[in-house]
Structure formats: structure tokens, C-alpha cells
Structure 1
Amino acid sequence: MNKGNLDLIIPDWPAPANVKSAVTLRTGGVSDGPYESLNMALHVGDDGERVRKNRQIVNTQLKLPSEPVWLDQVHGNGVTRAERGLVRPRFDASFTEESGIVSAVLTADCLPLLICAADGSRVAAVHAGWRGLLAGVIGNTVATFPGRDLLVWLGPAIGPECFEVGSEVREAFLSKSESSIEAFKVGRNGKWLADIYQLARSELAGLGIARVYGGNFCTVTEAGRFFSYRREPVTGRMATLIWRE
């Protein structure tokens, strides 16, 4: 892994000029072993000092206005306001209308979403695995915005050819919305292949949100760029960040 070369994904979406965002990849940090090299998570077994160094590298590179609000993600549907001084609140999404506050989520196959108001007045970051999607974490986050004139960007997640689920997962989504049927195709040995991006788009369409961007990654197959829990159960996490200037 190429340490010292910090690569980032800067979302390609027509967000207002005051809205800034980025996604870290797995290169450019100081972690070793399965966490090599830019692991951003303290909860996965990596050396804490190295994680803090990785975070400082990213803070410096992006010139972040403050330390990101790191969540204690629980694969639920809870949403909190991102504020200075919060210490790992147990939520899966955060939002803010305050300038200089950085909302962040950590992922390694689950879907990170960025949301912003079209006028740049509010932003949010969402961690959406299939459980969170099913539980309504996207809808709960959208509900924190005063209106529905929103832009959404879908970040790096497990691709539709790699996300194998049981029939119970498919049935749960179909029970919630019949439009979810488009997100599943027959896999092997009685399993289904799920398209987590399509599940998110279906949810957003039901909420009246049409301007959705991104969603063309695969964390499992792009091993040189992304951490993947499904590929390697002991691994690091990428960070997806958004803030207002």
C-alpha cells in the first residue's frame, strides 16, 4: 500500500459553493497490517495513536474547519445534530446548518450518503447499511431539512454483484416498498444479489428527491482503493465528510 500519498474522492455533484465534501480512501496513512494505511476508525482494533495521526493527516490536507463529529454507528435510524463537543453519540447520521461543523460517517461496505439543501443552508452525512436503510435512516435524515429541495450523493459501498443477502432481507424490503423489487436479482444457492444503491435511490424517489448523484463504486472489488468488511472482516474504515463554509 502506498503510504504518504493521500488520495481522496471529491464528490462530483452540483452542490453550492459553500458546501464542501470528501471521502478518504485507504492510502496515505500510517496504519499497518489489515488497517493499511489510512484507517480512520478507532473501534476496529487498530492502534489508536496511528488512527489519530491518520485523522490529522486528513484534517490538514482538507483544511477542515474543526474536528469531525465522529458517531458511534449502530446500524439504526437515529439522526443527531452535529455540534462541537459531541463525543461519539450513538447515531447513524448527523446534520448541521452551522458553518464550520463537519459531519462524518465511517464505512467499509455500508453506503455513505451526503445530503445538502439546494441553497447550501444545511448538510448531512448518513451511514446506511441494509438494516439502516430498512429502518428508515434516510427518511429520518431528510425529515431534518425544512424542505425537499435537496441534493444527494451516494458514496463508495458494496457493489450490486457482491452484495449477497438471504431471502428474508429481500422480503423485508419488498414489504416496505414494492419498488424495491428492482434492486434484487437471483444469486447462487438460494441467495439474492442486492443493489444497495438502487435501494437508496428507491427510498429517495419515494421521498420526492430526484437529484441523486454518485453510486458507481464497489468497495469489495476495488481492493486498492477501499476497505471492505465483506472482503476482509478485520479491516479499516473510510470517512465520508461534509461541512459548510
Structure 2
Amino acid sequence: MILPDWPAPPNVKSLMTTREGGASGAPWTSFNLGDHVGDAPASVAANRARLREWLPAEPGWLTQVHSARVVELGRDANLKADASFTLEIGQVCAVLTADCLPVLLCDRAGSVVAAAHAGWRGLAGGVLEATVATMQVPPGEILAWMGAAIGPQAFKVGDEVRQAFVNQHPEAATAFAPQPMPGKWLADIYQLARIRLNAAGVGAVYGGGRCTFSEVGSFFSYRRDRVTGRMASLVWLA
């Protein structure tokens, strides 16, 4: 488990799982929490049961579709979305990732928490901005923590990805390093997220720096392995 290093209020609890310590066999070895990646259902159930021991309730598992849709746990029945938030004690917001960027958020008063799944499509589509807006507190009162994602030395993208970000925020050009092959870039998804959070008024952004692609023993990576498991990033009010 990774315990986020951010100055969240004492009643805000959060964690990110790693790939270690579970029941799944190869290639999902071993703490896979995704039930949509081909792993044996019994193994996923065992891993989720193990995770549940750390939590006050079953997480609000989303059906993630790389969108900007945000749901309120306990109120929205349709959980086909890429972010969730709650104001209720004991509701657990969760996202699954294996290269995409997980972002956990809370306010300084500890009255609301949220979790967002920010792959490049969702990030460019405004999932972080939408999540900040649904929290219904001043953006300057929000803290954000970025979990492990594919690092800037491994995240290869094409011109269309770079343009999607630069068209909205010209400063995003600094998050892309050109590659020898024309039209190819290395992208810094952490920097892209910071730019968008800052533009939305969120200045207190923590985390970043871990690479799912290169840290083979700690993290699942879809780009590295294709068939692989999923980590969970979770936040709740206690």
C-alpha cells in the first residue's frame, strides 16, 4: 500500500494499492482489483475482500470509460463515470488504474472528498475540472494528490495528443519532449494535470513522480504488459 503524502485533514483517509500481496496468478500477479481484465473472478473477489479490511465500506467501483463524468456516491445510480465524490462519512471513492493518472482530492475543512481517473483522454476532456466543480467548495480550498502513473520517460504519444492539450492550454507545450521520429513525443502526465488543476484554481497539488511503466515490481502497466491487473486509489471521510 502507498499512503499519500499530502496535508489532508485528519478525518480524510486515503491510500493507493500496489501489485503486491494478492491472490492473482500471472499475468495479473498479484493484487489485481480489476474485474474486467480477464483475471479469475475468485481471485479478484479475494483481493477486494483483502482491500475491504482497510476500509469502512465497499468502495463505489465505477465503470470507467475515459470520460469527464462525475457521480455522487450514494445518490447516483449510474456509476458509468470516471470520477466520484461524496460528502458522507464512510463512503469510499475509488478509481482503478494501470498507467492512467489517479487523482485524489479533498477540501481543507474535510467536508468533501473525490477520486478521478485521468487518462489522457479524460484529462484533455476535463475530468479534473469537472471533479473540482462538483465538489462545490472554493477551488483554493481543495488539495489534490496524484498517484502513480506512467512517467515522462515512458509515455509516448502522437501529435494528436499534444495538440489536444496545447489547444486548450498553450503552456502544456512544456509537458511534451520531442522524439527522433517526427510527430512523436514523450508526455509528462503529471505536469499536464498540474497545469489543468492550477488553471481550475487548485494550487495545492501533491504527489507525482512514481512510474508504473518502469517500476515493474510495484505497479501494473497496461502499456508495458497489455494483459495486466489494476491498482486502486481510494479516499473517504472518517
TM-score normalised by structure 1 residue count: 0.94
Runs of at least 4 residues of structure 1 off by over 6 A? none
TM-superposed CA distance for 1:84, in Å, is 7.8
1:202 aligns with 2:195: yes
Alignment gaps of 5+ in structure 1: 1-7
1:161 aligns with 2:170: no
TM-superposed CA distance for 1:188, in Å, is 3.2
Aligned residue number for residue 17 of structure 1: 10
Q: Which amino acid aligns with 1:126?
A: A
How far, CA to CA, are the matches of 2:198 and 2:115 in structure 1? 18
How far, CA to CA, are the matches of 1:78 and 1:85 in structure 2? 11
One of 64, 73, 78 as aligned partner of 2:69: 78
Work out whether residues 183 and 195 of structure 1, in 8 Å CA contact, stay in contact via their aligned partners in 2: yes
Measured against aligned partners, the alpha-carbon deviations of 1:52-88 in whole angstroms (never above 9, x if no partner) come to 100111111x1x11100000000010000012895x7
How far, CA to CA, are the matches of 1:205 and 1:197 in structure 2? 12
Computed over aligned residues only, the root mean square deviation of the Cα atoms, in angstroms, reads 1.2
Aligned residue number for residue 164 of structure 2: 172
How far, CA to CA, are the matches of 1:235 and 1:84 in structure 2? 32
Aligned residue number for residue 66 of structure 1: 57
**Number of positions where the alignment pairs a residue of Structure 1 with one of Structure 2:** 235
TM-superposed CA distance for 1:27, in Å, is 0.6
One of 34, 39, 51 as aligned partner of 2:32: 39
One of 79, 84, 92 as aligned partner of 1:102: 92
How far, CA to CA, are the matches of 2:79 and 2:85 in structure 1? 13
Work out whether residues 69 and 84 of structure 1, in 8 Å CA contact, stay in contact via their aligned partners in 2: no
Aligned residue number for residue 4 of structure 1: none
Work out whether residues 114 and 135 of structure 2, in 8 Å CA contact, stay in contact via their aligned partners in 1: no
State the SS of the aligned residue for 1:49.
helix
Segment of structure 1 superposing worse, 90-99 or 172-181: 172-181
Work out whether residues 156 and 217 of structure 1, in 8 Å CA contact, stay in contact via their aligned partners in 2: yes
